[in-house]
Structure 1
Amino acid sequence: MKFQDNQHFSHKHILNALKLDIGEEIDCNACENPITDPLHGCNSCHYYLHDECLNTPRSLQHICHPSHPLTLLPNPTYSSRSFSCNACGSEGNAFSFSCAHCEFDLHIHCAKLPAKILIDKHPHELNLLFNSPYKDENVVFVCDECHGTANRDNWVYYCSQCDFGTHSNCATGNLTRKEGSSSSQTRKEDLMSSTARKIEEIEAYNEAQEKLMAARLKAQISVQGRRAALDLIDGGSHRKYYYY
């Protein structure tokens, strides 16, 4: 598939159609999630976008915020240089759909969430809700995926028939970048943790095998000792001798 070079409003240089090298890991400067082919980017600035993010519309009229249209911003305009997403509650440092009048902000992937979704852990469709499904303010929403809580005004996917619900990010697998670390770094840490667990499992298995072998050897020595004692008692009458 051939892609044309693009001059995107978020970057001063032309973004060229690129292809990832095998094993290469980079994050999208728009949504902060890992990039898979195809993508556009500027290698000199290390600026890269999913093609889907590249083609995100400049404005959006979202059902969750009907009073004003949301404008696509390449960077947060707050003094902190970050924003808190009104959908998932996570911090964002890159693209957002924003309403300056209301200080309302969404990650671009949150703004595109489907109204209904199916996940492996539940047989029914989950509906997207823009706030807690519980009317009682004293009842806290607990995610059935990660078992964490959600604020009352965070978006959740919910099945009212089963009282089953998840954070929007847990249902879709969107993982926003943590402050001070990239998703690739997080994946490396997960890999190191997984490797450490495997080493511990191997060491535990080897230790168990050594204990088992020691127990067998001890049992064999005990059996041989008993046989030797019997030989001394009965003068070896139970033995069979062979003469050649």
Structure 2
Amino acid sequence: MKFLDNQHFSHQHILNAFKLDIGKKIDCNACENPITEPFHGCYSCNYYIHDQCLNIPRSLQHASHPAHPLTLLPNPTYSSKSFSCNACGSQGSAFSFSCAHCEYDLHIHCAKLPAKILIDKHPHELNLLFVSPYKDQNVAFVCDECHGIANRDNWVYYCAHCDFGMHSNCTTGNVTGKDAASSSQSGHEHLMDSVTRQVEDIQAFNEAQERLAAATLEAKMNARGRKAILDMIDDSGYRRNHYYY
């Protein structure tokens, strides 16, 4: 999926493709990470976005907030002009997935975190939890990476077998093997995979509907043809005189 005619909902002007000048450092207005090619932007507004960020879906159904879909916002709608991410607890001022009804917000990179990871410091898979594993025990969760205390409502990666866990954002640089490849790839690719599956499902549904409509039309035409033949037989008197005994 590509944004059409270089017009994106996040900006009022046409966005053009740029090459990054050597030595120049600019941040993406969507994910707030340093810009890398390919990217588009508006030079007059100093507004630049990774191409992968341009194609993030406009809404997302996330397992951490099943009650409502999350809407992609180009800017926080709060008076503070920032939001606190419900995943990692840090502040953001750019794109977010948000539920206005519940004031629930996620960084776009947090929204793509994998459900399971392997790290180089632990032999077992860590599962992504949307709340502290100690939330109901009145016990603080201490990250085994940074040794900081995690907010009870922020996400952690956790191994229940070993009682080992980390802040979701403390796993950066620690993921190994296959999980490292999937985590180091742009999180937007994960979202785009989901979008692709949705598009394919819609296409399959539309094709099924078209086949059903064609079959229905054919059945109607056949029924009308049979009726026309019977009407002709009735008009000739053949059916009246020869069909009944």
Structures share a fold, TM > 0.5?
yes
TM-score computed with the length of structure 1 as normaliser: 0.65
C-alpha separation in 2, matches of 1:159 and 1:170: 15
State the identity %: 84
Structure 2 match to 1:99: 99
Structure 2 match to 1:224: none
User: For structure 1, which runs of at least 5 residues remain unmatched after alignment?
Assistant: 174-244
Residue type at the aligned position of 2:117: I
Q: Deviations over 1:113-163 (max 9, x none)?
A: 111122232232211110001255332111122221111110011122222
Contact 1:59–1:72 (Cα < 8 Å) also in 2 = yes
Structure 1 match to 2:146: 146
Structure 2 match to 1:41: 41
1:129 aligned onto 2:158? no
Name the stretch that deviates more: 115-124 or 52-61: 115-124
Structure 2 match to 1:52: 52
SS at match of 1:111: helix
Contact 2:92–2:107 (Cα < 8 Å) also in 1 = yes
Structure 1 match to 2:79: 79
C-alpha separation in 2, matches of 1:103 and 1:111: 15
Structure 1 match to 2:29: 29
SS at match of 2:44: coil
Report the CA distance between 1:166 and its aligned residue: 1.2
User: CA separation of 1:147/1:54 partners in 2, compared to 1, >3 Å: closer, same or farther?
Assistant: same
SS at match of 2:170: helix
The number of residues matched between the two structures is: 171
Report the CA distance between 1:43 and its aligned residue: 1.9
Report the CA distance between 1:45 and its aligned residue: 1.2
SS at match of 2:123: coil
SS at match of 1:66: coil
C-alpha separation in 2, matches of 1:108 and 1:148: 24
User: CA separation of 1:106/1:135 partners in 2, compared to 1, >3 Å: closer, same or farther?
Assistant: closer
Runs of 4+ in 1 over 6 A off after TM superposition: none
TM-score computed with the length of structure 2 as normaliser: 0.65
Residue type at the aligned position of 2:116: K
C-alpha separation in 2, matches of 1:24 and 1:122: 39
Name whichever structure is richer in helix by fraction.
Answer: 2
Contact 1:146–1:170 (Cα < 8 Å) also in 2 = yes
